[in-house]
Structures are given as structure tokens and as C-alpha cells.
Amino acid sequence: MIDGSILIGSETRRTNETFAGRDAASGATIGPAFCEAGAADVADACALAAAAAPAFAALSPEGRAAFLERAGEEILAIGDVLIETAMAESGLSRPRLEGERMRTVNQLRLFAAEVRQGYWLDATIDPALPERAPPRSDLRRVNLAIGPVAVFGASNFPLAFSVAGGDAASAFAAGCPVVVKGHPAHPGTGELVARAMARAVTECCLPEGVFSYLPGTGNALGASLVGDPRIKAVGFTGSRSGGLALVRLAQQRLEPIPVYAEMSSINPVVLLPGALAENAEALGAAFVASLTLGAGQFCTNPGLVLAIDAPDLDRFVAAAAQVLERSAAQTMLTAGIAEAYAKGVAALDANAAVRRVAGAPGSGGALFETTAAKFVADAALGHEVFGASSVLVRCAHAAELSEVVAALEGQLTATLHTGTGDDAAAAEILPRLAERCGRVLANGWPTGVEVTRAMVHGGPFPATSDSRSTSVGTMAMSRFLRPVCYQDIPDPLLPPPLQAANPWRIPRRVEGEWTSN
Amino acid sequence: MIDGSILIGSETRRTNETFAGRDAASGATIGPAFCEAGAADVADACALAAAAAPAFAALSPEGRAAFLERAGEEILAIGDVLIETAMAESGLSRPRLEGERMRTVNQLRLFAAEVRQGYWLDATIDPALPERAPPRSDLRRVNLAIGPVAVFGASNFPLAFSVAGGDAASAFAAGCPVVVKGHPAHPGTGELVARAMARAVTECCLPEGVFSYLPGTGNALGASLVGDPRIKAVGFTGSRSGGLALVRLAQQRLEPIPVYAEMSSINPVVLLPGALAENAEALGAAFVASLTLGAGQFCTNPGLVLAIDAPDLDRFVAAAAQVLERSAAQTMLTAGIAEAYAKGVAALDANAAVRRVAGAPGSGGALFETTAAKFVADAALGHEVFGASSVLVRCAHAAELSEVVAALEGQLTATLHTGTGDDAAAAEILPRLAERCGRVLANGWPTGVEVTRAMVHGGPFPATSDSRSTSVGTMAMSRFLRPVCYQDIPDPLLPPPLQAANPWRIPRRVEGEWTSN
């Protein structure tokens, strides 16, 4: 069922150059030798994708929704081997991966529902005004798919943000063929899902180029994919350096294209005095639970805590320390990630501006603390350490806390904990947090990203390379659409969503108001 | 009333370095010496804009709409001196400029109406599901203004695409302060409008930083504006080289920002055989009218005509030649533009791959022709010559015409003329044209861009630097907005559009359906 193949449309293909899958816990080689896709494979996948693009883009909402749902069924039909393979390759737990599989399938189903509903087309009609001087033409606008999309699988979500994850699902929903560059940390998992996707394409009688899968380890593979002139947009979740490299490549093309890179975020958590007074111990314990969830390998991991110095803050730290000491170190996704985490924590240990206040080496995480002045003075303290590491900034007073917030880079999330007496401070700080992130939350924890219509998993640079979008939730489709206006086009030549008879029965905005016909 | 000042918020300011305004027809110096804004002016304007941003973004729809309408009134109140100044500086005619003024004012009014209606906020509410396992948080999404926007005035629309033109109006509508880099070809016109805008800011009691105006001639001014860290997006209409330079500058910033550059387009017009058979002469005359409108200085000027070789095509060329010979050369916007036009036409005259078939030197324009093979082989033939110059590609048959279409770069517009018997060809070619442009039109001419909700003045690279947007029409606002999700935020801390009571009475999408409460 897993043989290490490359999937170019309906063709499985092999190369001589291969790489090994690894058991995340032991480092042992597992699975077959996996083929390294090369430039020729990229070219063939992109050619098929380009050939498939017009027909796939023109598919009715029902046709595309059925494909998304079928893809979900095929993923479920893989059975337990998917969970077992992902557990071995990622070191993540069974419950986490079973939950992630359900999330992946529900994500495909939600996109199907959103595609059927039709608002995403943003069909807008300004009828002709022949009596006006000068007369106004008939003007109709609709969103079209942007073309083939390159998707880079993420290491930390082998299912929900990889081969059939949020980027791929949203691109499909928008009507774009997808070429996936599989993540080398979970090649067996990737191949299982890729084969399921290829089956869904076949079963829905879609052109084979709608989906291709390129496993591989080298940067050259990703570069040739982003550089292919038939690729029209890129979805990526990973490191800041990786994301910025793709942005640069995309900008250097003869035809520059958008890159949606979700890169780095330390997800500040602000603990206001009233919250600490009422709940210091519970907050400390809940903070550590969020910090250490999945070995801290979430983009939304709380890597920064801001609070005003007070005895209640010491209670928070003591409670966090107590829970952290009892927590055990967890297997990380790859040896490279574990090494980078150890290095990041060691750098903080060696930095005189911070001191470790909780989480001894060997425990499940590390909490450092520093002052506001030192945090603002040293940009390195604001850089993400991927894993269960966080920095507490003790601010002398509210003004200093505001200065730290003002100095923050763009973030995926920002969290505010409030209690009695915090209303004025909360009202002052909440808009400042919203200015700097894609999602602001109160009295909760940033880990756990719901897939809904209102979700934003995005934010100002460097959280992402494009703050106008999200990589989670139905709005993610908008990344892969562009508007086209049709002026005085005879009805039979209009695309169905703009035709007078509205054959797809989608909502349309006519002279400014949404109508159902 | 025009003294050559720089406007930094409510302050008028002077510098020692100045430049001259020019009469477009005579080249004579007109008006006062105009101050060259410098780096300190940029810094002050951006500081004021950043200070004004939160309050301006938080303004109610009614408050912002009132400002847009007031701006329109102030522009009308300038009176005839605005038209006279613009006529002298641009060489454009009185009727054209009076029409452009009305378009500018109506554009501001349409944005006001769109702001009041509230769909642009895209307020989306997914209520909490406390009974679900695990429970779902309350999730609410709304669009926020992206922050201060730099706008570069365009030479060819001294009113509708300059100081208070489409870019500025859409940025204001989105809630973004604007810093305008005035176009040096119409500094008097620019200053008149800038003073009107500053008055509107004062009269609406808005923070002064909502609008600043920086006249100047050098590239350094634009570069320091785009490089200022407080600027969060850029709107530009102009040349491909100018637009790409701004994109590069914006990408090199510590925090890269989006640049919406509307750059170059040759706006292909496809004449199908039936249309030529029925209407060759009328089409030839109408084509020349569109080609020579405003001395051909429109982004949507029809610079490329595609047709299958046939005697009817000769009738079209003959009719076009007849009208073109009778047309007189018009004053161009600037000496530089006239020189570039002369150079572009001379290069075509010198290119053995094309020959001039209509429009002798000294007439109102020039029409060249070539073959499909030669056009596809020489990329230079597909480059824009700004002004009344067009290339006719004689295709041997339908397949060759399709090849030319497939070889086209991204365009602002594409036009299809159809007649009896063209249905099959039109159905085949229309989607191919739509893939390559922002607006496709039938049986009309691309010049004349209506400001409506359905309009798209955009398109794939190099027509623009971002095909997901438009610079004309209400959708232009989306360029300056980004979504933020609010999770479990107590109601009083939510921004008004997301509060339970919906105090702004805007439509909101609740659990997937638009509702009015």
C-alpha cells in the first residue's frame, strides 16, 4: 500500500534516487525507500495540472463539493494503517492523530458545504442602464480559480496541514488543481493520503491533473515547483526562513505569484491583574497544558507571557513550575526539530537577559523570564522557539506592558486574560492586540484552531507573508480566487453563475443587495 | 489658492528645493514654484498617519461615509479653477475634465454608499456550541483597516486617479489614512484637490493625519514613502518599470507590504469573422475612436487587434485608415510621454516584423500589422506603447488566433466582437480571454471604465502586480482590509460590528447565512 512512489496524476512513478522514512521516537528507518521527485516530475505534474485547470475551474459547485466529500471518504477508508503510520513517523499520539484525521475530513466537508452555498463566487450584477446618459453597460463580476496551486506539506500536522490539509482543500474548493510537495518527515502518511486523493479524482471522473504528489527532501524540488510558470499560487506552513525563501523565488519569476506562507508566531498571552488575582494557580496550570500540548509543536503555541509584576504573578509562575516539573519530555516530530528546540532553549539559557524560572532540562518544557526593557532591547527574545518554550515578561506597570505590545511583530494569535477590575485595561489593550494578529481571544488558550467560517489563522508579517487571508477556515478559499468582470457579454457566453437563469441557484449581489436568484 | 506647498496633515509647509509646473501644450512654466517634499516630510506625514489610523479605522460607517461625501463637495466647491488648471497642466479637454471631475465625485459617493451598507466588513459569526464535544468557542470575524496607505497619483487621470482618485477613495473607505505622492505633471491640480481634502478632514473633525500630500519629482521621494515602516500598503497607477520598482522596494522592507500597481496592458480586441462580415466599416471607425480617445492615454487603450485574414478584415483596415488620416494629433500629457510615444512608434516603424497600415506621422494615431507567427516570436510587439498606437495581428485561421491568445501576457481587458455564425468560436475563445484579463467585454470598446460594484480594473501580471483585486469599483476597498477573528471576547470589548446588539445595523453572516441583525 506504501511503496515510495511519486504520483503524477493517475500515474505512479519511480526514480533511482530515494530517501528513508524515520521512526520519530527511535530514529530507525521505517517503510520502503521513498522516491525523490525531480525536475522532470515537477514539469509533468504542472503540465497535467495546467491541462486540468479549465475544466476543474468550470465544474459546478455540486461537482466540486462531491469531490471534496469523496476525498474525505477515501481518507477514512484508508483505515487504521494511516493512524499507525502517522504515529510512527511523527511521534504524535493515537488520540491526537485520530482527532486530526476527523478534523481533516470535517474540513473537506465544510469546504464542500461552503462551495455549495456559493457566496464564495461573490457573483455581483450591475444591470445595464440604457436610459442613463451616457448609458451604462451590463456589468457582472464573479470569482475565477487562479490556476494550479503548489502546496507544501507541514511537518506538524501530517494530516490536517499536509497532502489533503487546509491548503489543498481550500485550493480544490476554489477550483484549482493542486501539486503537493510532500513533507519528508512523514512520507508514508503522505503517500497513503495521496493515493486516496488520486482515487477520489478518478472516482469523480475529474481530469487526472487535478492532483499530483511529489515526495522529496531537497530544497531544489520546492524551488523548481514554485518556479514552474504553470503554478499560479503557493500555500506553505513552516519556518520563517523557508517561507521567505519561497516568497523570494515567487517574486523573481517572470510572472510573480502570491505565496501564502504561515511562518512564525510567539502568540503573546497577556495576564491582567484581576485575572491573576482570581485565578493565578489555575492559569499557571492551564498555561502549561497549552504550552506542552503536542510537545509544543503548534504554530499557536503560547511562547510569550506578558504581565505586570506582582505577588499574584509569582503564584502563576509557581503553579506553572509545579506542573511543568511533573511533565515529561515528549518525542518531537523529527530529529532536526528536536535539535533546533534544544538549541533554542540553550540559547535562552545562555542569554544573560533571561533566566529559567520553570521546567528543568528533561521536563516537558521551559519557562524563562525577563524584564520589559530587556525584552524590547533584544529582538532575539521575540523569535519563535518551535516547541514547549516560553518567555514571561515581567512589566513594571501598565505603560510598560503597552510598550512591549507596541514592540511586537505580527502574530497569529494574541490572548487576553481578564478578571474583576480589568475592564479599563482590557478595553485599552484589546484593540492594540487586534492590530498585531489574526485572531484575538479572551480567557482561553491559543492552541486549538477551530475550522469554521469566522476563523482567521493568519496575521501580519512575519506570522504570515500575506495578512489579508487565512490558512484555516472557509475564507482560505479567497487566496486562490481572482475576480473577473463580464461586460455586455451575451447570456449564453456568460459563466453559469452570471447567467440570467442562475442555473447553479447561487446567491448574487444585484445592484448592491444579495438575492437568491 | 495654489502656492506650491506641501500638506502634512493640517500644516502647509515649504522647502527651498522646488520644481515647475508646465503647460502641456506649450511646455511653458505655469503656476508658482512647487516645493519638493523630502525625507523629513515623508516621516512627518507617516507619523501623523500612523497616529490617526486607530481612530479613523474605528469610525462608524456613517462617519466615514460623511467624510467621503464631504470630500466630494469640497472638490466641487473648488470651482472652475480646478478644470482650468487641469486643462493647462494635462492638455486634456474641458469636457473630458468636467466628466472626470463628476466621475471623481460620484466615485466618492459610491464608496460612501458601499461603506454605509456594510457588506465590506464581512462580519461573520459562528456562535459558541457549548454542548458539542469538544465545545466550540464563540468565533466572530470582521475586516479591519490595514493601516496608512501610500497613493501615487497617475499622470493620465489628474482627478479620478490622483489625489482623491480611486486608490485614495478606496483606502479612505476601508478606514486607512492616505499619504499621496502627487504626480509632478499636474502639481497645481494636485494641490487644489489636496487642499480640498484637508478641508474635508478638518470639517469632519477627523485626526489631521488622515490625509497628507507630498508633491515632488524624484524617485527618492516615492522610495522613502514606500520604505517608511508606518506605511502598510501602496496604490500605484503607471508604468511597468515604475510599478515593479515599487514592488521590489516593498518586498525588501523589514516588514514587506502589498503593492497594488496597475501597470501595463495592450487590451486585445478579437474581431470574429461574422462581426467583420456584418460591420467591418463601423468597427473600423469605432476602433479608431477608442484608440485615439484622450490621445490614446488610457490604460485600457486597444493596443492589439486579432482577426483572421479575410477581405472583410481589409474593409476594417481601410475604414480605420480613413478615420485615422482625418484625425489630428493631440497634445499629450507631458513632454516625456510624447517623447516615449514617438520612440515607441518609431521602434515599430523600424521593426521589419510589422508594417504601418494606417495613420501617417502627424495624424492622431498609428496602426501597424503583422502575422501571428511574427507576433508570437517577438515579445516586443506585445509591449505597451502608451498612446494611440495599435498592432493588428492577421491570423491565418482560428487555430493561429488561439495560439496568439495563449501567448498573451495578463491584461486589464479583452474584447470580443461577434456576429452571425460566430457562436461556436466565441464560446471557445471567451473563457481563454477571461483567463488572461480582469474584464472581458463583447461588442464594445475597452476604453471607459464604469465605477460600480461589479467593475474589475485589474488582471494577471503584468497588467497589475496583484490579480486578486481591482483599482476601480467598490471592490477596490478589499485591498486595504485584513480579517481578524475574535474568540470568546466579552461583548463590550468586541468592535461594534461584532457586538450582540449590532449597533451599526450592518448585515452579518451568522452560521453561514447573511442576516440583517
Q: Mind listing the pLDDT tens digit for each residue in A51-61? A: 999 999 999 99
For residue B368, the surrounding DSSP H or E stretch is strand B366-371
Contact A442 B489 (CB under 8 A): yes
Cell reading at B22:
508646465
Half-sphere exposure of B133 (CA within 13 A, CB side): 0
3-state SS assignment for residue B280: helix
d(CA A92, CA A358): 24
How much is the pLDDT for A341?
97
**Residue in B109, B481, B484 to test binding to A, most A beta-carbons within 10 Å:** B484
Binned at pLDDT 50, 70 and 90, residue A516 comes out as confident
Answer whether B443 sits within 8 Å of A492, measured CB to CB. Answer: no
Contact across the interface for B484 and A509, Cβ inside 8 Å: no
pLDDT tens-place string over residues B93-149: 999 999 999 999 999 999 999 999 999 999 999 999 999 988 999 999 999 999 999
| SS3 per residue for A196-224 | HHHHHHHHCCCCHHHEEEECCCCHHHHHH
Q: Other C-beta atoms within 10 Å of B46: how many? A: 24
- Contact (CB, 8 A) for A381 and A374: yes
Nearest-angstrom CA–CA distance, B103 and A440: 40
Rg (CA), chain A: 24
Around B237, how many Cα atoms within 13 Å sit in the side-chain half-sphere?
Answer: 28
| Residue A153: partners with Cβ closer than 8 Å, 6 or more residues away | A161, A162, A163, A165, A180, A181, A182, A183, A186, A190
Q: Are A402 and A430 in contact (CB under 8 A)?
A: no
Q: Is A63 on the interface with B (CB under 8 A)?
A: no
Taking an 8 Å cut-off on Cβ atoms, the answer to whether B469 and A481 are in contact is no
Amino acid A461: pLDDT: 96
Tell me which chain A residues have a C-beta less than 8 angstroms from the C-beta of B65. Answer: none
Q: Would you say residue A517 has pLDDT above 80?
A: no
> 3.40.605.10, 3.30.70.640, 3.40.190.10, 3.40.50.300: which CATH number matches A6-263+466-480?
3.40.605.10
C-alpha cell at position B381 = 510587439
Q: State the architecture of B40-263+466-480 in CATH terms.
A: 3-Layer(aba) Sandwich (3.40)
pLDDT tens per residue, chain B (517 residues)?
899 999 999 999 999 999 999 999 999 999 999 999 999 999 999 999 999 999 999 999 999 999 999 999 999 999 999 999 999 999 999 999 999 999 999 999 999 999 999 999 999 999 999 999 889 999 999 999 999 999 999 999 999 999 999 999 999 999 999 999 999 999 999 999 999 999 999 999 999 999 999 999 989 999 999 999 999 999 999 999 999 999 999 999 999 999 999 999 999 999 999 999 999 999 999 999 999 999 999 999 999 999 999 999 999 999 999 999 999 999 999 999 999 999 999 999 999 999 999 999 889 999 999 999 999 999 999 999 999 999 999 999 999 999 999 999 999 999 999 999 999 999 999 999 999 999 999 999 999 999 999 999 999 999 999 999 999 999 999 999 999 999 999 999 999 999 999 999 999 999 999 998 6
A137 vs B contacts (CB less than 8 Å): 441, 444, 450
Sign of the C-alpha dihedral computed for residues A92, A93, A94 and A97 taken in this order? negative
Where are chain B's structural domains? 40-263+466-480, 268-442
Q: Which of A230, A485, A508 to mutate to test the interface with B (most CBs of B within 10 A)?
A: A485
Q: How far is the CA of A180 from the CAs of A12, A234, A482, in angstroms?
A: 14, 10, 22
Q: Which of residues 197-226 of B touch A (CB under 8 A)?
A: none
The CA dihedral of A435, B468, B142, B516, to the nearest 10 degrees, is 160
- Inform me whether the C-beta atom of residue A512 falls under 8 Å from chain B C-beta atoms: yes
E strands, A38-177, where? 124-126, 139-145, 149-152
Per the prediction, chain A carries an average pLDDT of 97
- How far CA B294 is from CA of A73, B129, B332, B502, in Å, comes to 59, 60, 8, 47
Rounded mean pLDDT, A380-406:
96
Tell me how far apart the alpha carbons of residues A235 and A265 are, in angstroms, rounded to a whole number. Answer: 17
Q: Which of B299, B384, B395, B437 is catalytic?
A: B299
Active-site residue (options: B89, B262, B384, B400): B262
Contacts of B30 (CB under 8 A, 6+ apart): B20, B21, B22, B23, B88, B89, B188
Give the pLDDT score at A1: 84
Cell readout for A60 is 459546478
Distance (Å, whole) CA A272 – CA A416: 7
Contact predicate B380/B370, CB 8 Å: no
Record the cell numbers describing residue B160, joined without a space.
479620478
Grid cell at residue A409? 511583530
Distance from CA of A18 to the nearest CA of B (A): 36
Tell me how many residue pairs between chain A and chain B have CB atoms under 8 A apart.
216
How do beta strands B233-237 and B149-152 pair?
A: parallel
- What is the structure's pLDDT at B516? 87
Are the C-beta atoms of residues B317 and B325 closer than 8 Å to each other? Answer: no
Whether A140 has a pLDDT exceeding 80, the answer reads: yes
The Cα of A261 is separated from the nearest Cα of chain B by a number of Å equal to 13
Pairwise CA distance, residues A452 & B425, whole Å? 43
Cell triple for A395 = 512589566
Instruction: Say what angle helices B94-117 and B166-174 make with each other, to 10 degrees.
Output: 10
Distance from the A118 Cα atom to the nearest Cα atom in chain B, whole angstroms: 11
Amino acid sitting at position B139:
L
Residues B481 and B125: their CA atoms lie apart, in Å, by 18
Determine contact: B436 vs chain A, CB below 8 A: no
Write out pLDDT tens, residues A448-495.
999 999 999 999 999 999 999 999 999 999 999 999 999 999 999 999
Q: What pLDDT sits at residue A483?
A: 98
CATH 3.40.50.12710 fits B268-442, yes or no: no
Instruction: Give A43: exposed, middle or buried? Use CB within 10 Å, 0-12, 13-18, 19+.
Output: middle
Name every residue whose Cβ is closer than 8 Å to that of residue A128 and which is 6 or more positions away in sequence. A135, A136, A137, A138, A488
- Residue A202 CB neighbours (<10 A): 16
Q: Which residues of A touch B478 (CB under 8 A)?
A: 468
Tell me the helices (H) and strands (E) count for chain B, helix number first. 14, 21
Active-site position among A35, A176, A299, A437: A299
Which element (helix H / strand E) includes A13? strand A11-13
Does the interface ipTM go beyond 0.95? yes
Give the pLDDT confidence of A181-198 residue by residue, as tens digits. 999 999 999 999 999 999
Q: Is the Cβ of B456 closer than 8 Å to some Cβ of chain A? A: yes
3-state secondary structure of B195: helix
- The answer to whether the beta carbons of residues B443 and B411 sit under 8 Å apart is no
A491 to chain B, any CB pair closer than 8 A? The answer is no
Burial of B134 (0-12, 13-18, 19+ CB in 10 A): exposed
pLDDT at A424: 97
Count helices and strands (H / E) in chain A: 14, 21
